[in-house]
């Protein structure tokens, strides 16, 4: 859980003044029950949250807050997957209710709570779409978001879900090219709704760009590319720079869309919200880098930064806030891509690898959550564990 005493809300509020919203990536039932989530919202620093299968699994195993519900659902004849889903939905509903006033006061810009589709469906368009519809209907809150991975297979599901009025948090974006695909899905969905006279303002979406994993992967390739003395020096100078360059390029695209007359005249005036970029995977993986790297460098108007608790605490203690820092952060994206290519590093190929690994990393805690539920249900049934 967040250590409230360790978080200085002042800097989080300053990010909001710069047009960036701070979300947290680990919803727990504990913070719902002990008033922690409510306090963070009222302090003004926290403007959204996402559910996390790993945190959920740990919470089920380490506490007792789910025991009564698990026992009841077992006696009602629910299977393990249904119980997992029911418990997660209940947490998300409670969190949505806690954020309801912020959602209303911000006119739908903030106050969202995300819930993840089964990651085992990441290459299954129809399965993902059906799952998104089911979760959206069961959560039944206007400030919920359904998390769908940005795999090529799921792009049609993303567009269709958005067209149907489902708020979507599009995850596992590792390249500017895939971000453009995702942004195009949103624009097509909004235009389809507009053409059919459907409400635009109630629809919201974020495109979640995963950052630290990019640097970890590219840094590994840079180490391998250090063959000649010249290459070694060049490779060393490029480490830790790929993610921010990718984010900067994506943000330039985002700004171009928001500033285009077509968007402003045909959709924004009718109430459509922009699909915001969300910076995800913002905890540094290499201790050689500042632990606030993916916050300090990525301040940008109209964006979201979703932080794990450690990063939030570090930023509130020693982070820096500079309005639109992202516009000049790090290396020029095109120049960096060229330098990396000269060392044999293809950023699109890197993105393909990261997407595959990312899906696996989503599936692992999801299945661990199911195993956690299974252990608890066996106890509730009196079976041997």
Known catalytic residues are: 147
Helices (H), the chain: 9-17, 29-33, 36-43, 53-62, 67-75, 80-105, 125-139, 155-163, 176-195, 212-225, 229-238, 242-259, 261-266, 293-296, 309-318, 333-342, 347-381
Residue 285: name the closest of 364, 368, 211 by CA. 211
Asked if 96 and 113 touch (Cβ cutoff 8 Å), the reply is yes
Residue 114 φ then ψ, to 5°: -100, 145
For 228, residues 6+ apart whose C-beta sits below 8 A from its C-beta are: none
Residue 346 φ then ψ, to 5°: -100, 115
- Alpha-carbon torsion (56, 62, 68, 72), positive or negative: positive
Which DSSP string corresponds to 130-147?
Answer: HHHHHHHHHH--TTEEEE
- Alpha-carbon torsion (109, 100, 49, 311), positive or negative: positive
Please, what is the end-to-end C-alpha distance for the chain in angstroms?
28
Residue 208 φ then ψ, to 5°: -90, 110
Residue 95: name the closest of 10, 153, 5, 26 by CA. 26
> What does the buried/exposed string (b/e) look like for 341-367 if buried means 16 or more CB atoms within 10 Å of the residue's CB?
eebebebeebbeebbeebbeebbebbe
Asked if 170 and 208 touch (Cβ cutoff 8 Å), the reply is yes
- Whole-angstrom CA distances from 48 to 24, 87, 145, 220, 363 are 6, 20, 10, 33, 23
């Amino acid at each position: 859980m967040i250590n409230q005493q360790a978080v200085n809300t002042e800097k989080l509020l300053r990010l909001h003044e710069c047009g960036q919203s701070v979300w947290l990536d680990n919803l727990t039932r504990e913070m719902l029950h002990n008033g922690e989530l409510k306090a963070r919202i009222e302090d003004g620093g926290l403007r959204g949250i996402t559910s996390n299968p790993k945190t959920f699994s740990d919470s089920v195993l380490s506490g007792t807050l789910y025991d009564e519900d698990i026992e009841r659902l077992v006696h009602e004849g629910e299977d393990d997957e249904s119980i997992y889903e029911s418990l997660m939905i209940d947490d998300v509903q409670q969190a949505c209710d806690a954020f309801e006033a912020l959602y209303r006061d911000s006119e739908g810009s903030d106050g969202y709570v995300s819930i993840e589709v089964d990651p085992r469906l990441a290459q299954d368009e129809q399965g993902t779409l059906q799952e998104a519809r089911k979760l959206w209907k069961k959560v039944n809150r206007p400030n919920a978001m359904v998390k769908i991975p940005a795999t090529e297979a799921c792009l049609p599901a993303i567009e269709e879900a958005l067209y149907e009025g489902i708020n979507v948090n599009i995850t596992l974006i590792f390249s500017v090219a895939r971000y453009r695909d995702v942004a195009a899905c949103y624009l097509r969905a909004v235009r389809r709704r507009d053409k059919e006279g459907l409400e635009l303002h109630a629809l919201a979406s974020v495109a979640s760009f995963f950052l630290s994993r990019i640097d970890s992967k590219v840094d590994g390739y840079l180490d391998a590319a250090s063959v000649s003395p010249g290459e070694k020096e060049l490779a060393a100078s490029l480490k830790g720079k790929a993610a921010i360059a990718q984010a900067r390029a994506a943000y330039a695209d985002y700004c171009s869309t928001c500033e285009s007359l077509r968007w402003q005249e045909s959709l924004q005036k009718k109430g459509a919200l922009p699909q915001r970029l969300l910076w995800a995977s913002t905890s540094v993986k290499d201790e050689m880098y500042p632990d606030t790297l993916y916050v300090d460098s990525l301040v940008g108007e109209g964006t979201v930064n979703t932080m794990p608790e450690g990063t939030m605490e570090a930023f509130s203690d020693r982070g820096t806030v500079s309005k639109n820092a992202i516009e000049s952060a790090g290396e020029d994206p095109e120049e960096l891509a060229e330098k990396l290519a000269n060392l044999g590093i293809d950023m699109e190929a890197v993105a393909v690898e990261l997407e595959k690994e990312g899906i696996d990393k989503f599936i692992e805690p999801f299945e661990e959550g199911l195993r956690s539920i299974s252990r608890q249900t066996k106890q509730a049934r009196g079976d041997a564990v």
